[in-house]
Amino acid sequence: MQNVFGASGREEDSEWLSVSDLMAGLMVLFLFIAIVFIRPVAEQNLRIKEIARTWQENETEIYEALLSEFEPDLVRWNAELEKDTLLIRFKSPEVLFETGRASIRPRFAEVLRDFFPRYVKVLDKFRPSIEEVRIEGHTSSVWNHTTPPDDAYFKNMELSQERTRAVLQNVLGLAEIDSDRHWLQPLLTANGLSSSRPVLNADGTENRDRSRRVEFRIRTTVRTEIVRILEEVR
C-alpha cells in the first residue's frame, strides 16, 4: 500500500512541478511582453518630460530677454508683456487705428518703428526654437448699434484681418530689419480674430475698449516636437 501511495504521491508531485514550471514560464513571457510594450511608453514619457523642461527654460529665457529690452517702454506704449504666452499686447485703441478702418494711426506707426526692430533682435537669439511669430488683431463684439451680432462678427473679422495685414506690411517694410527679412518673413503671420477672444470685466461683461487690441505672440517648437515623438511611438 505504501508503495502504491508513494508512487501516487510522486506522480502528483511530478505533475505539480510541471504546472509550476509552466506558470513560471508564462510569467516570464508576460513580463517580457510587458517590458517590450511599456519600455517605449516610459522612454516616450521621459523624452516628453525632458522637452517640457527644456521648453520651460527656453521660454523663460525669451520672456526675460523681452522684459529686459522693453520694460522701460511698456508703460509709455500702454502695452504689457505676458510671461506664460510670450505675448506683447498694445492696448490703446485710440492710438492703433482709425475707427472702423485698417489705417494705422501715426502714433502707432512710431511705436512700431521703435518696437519692431528691437523685437527682431531679441527673436534672432532664439531663432532655432521659434515656430511662429503671430500678429493678432482683436476687436470688440459690436459694429454699430443697428448691426446684428452675427453680422458684426463677420464685419469685425474682415476688419481685424485687414488691420493685421496692415501691421505686417508696415513692420516688414522697415529698413532696420532688411538683413533679417530672409528668416523672419517665413515665421511672421497676420491673424485677424474679430471678437472671438474678448477682454472681460470682473463681472463677466465685455470690456469693449480693452478688447480692441494688437498682440505680438511667439510660438515655440515644443508642441511640434512632442507630436513628432508620439507619432514615432505609434
What percent of the chain has pLDDT above 70? 71
- CB burial readout 117-127, b (16+ within 10 A) else e: eebbebbeebe
- Residues 190-214 have a mean pLDDT of 95
Sign of the CA dihedral 160, 161, 163, 164?
positive
Average pLDDT over the chain, rounded to whole? 85
pLDDT digits (tens, 9 = 90+) for 94-121: 999 988 899 999 999 999 999 999 999 9
pLDDT digits (tens, 9 = 90+) for 62-82: 999 999 999 999 999 999 999
Grid coordinates in use for 75? 508703460
- Residues 38-53 have a mean pLDDT of 65
Higher pLDDT, 103 or 2: 103
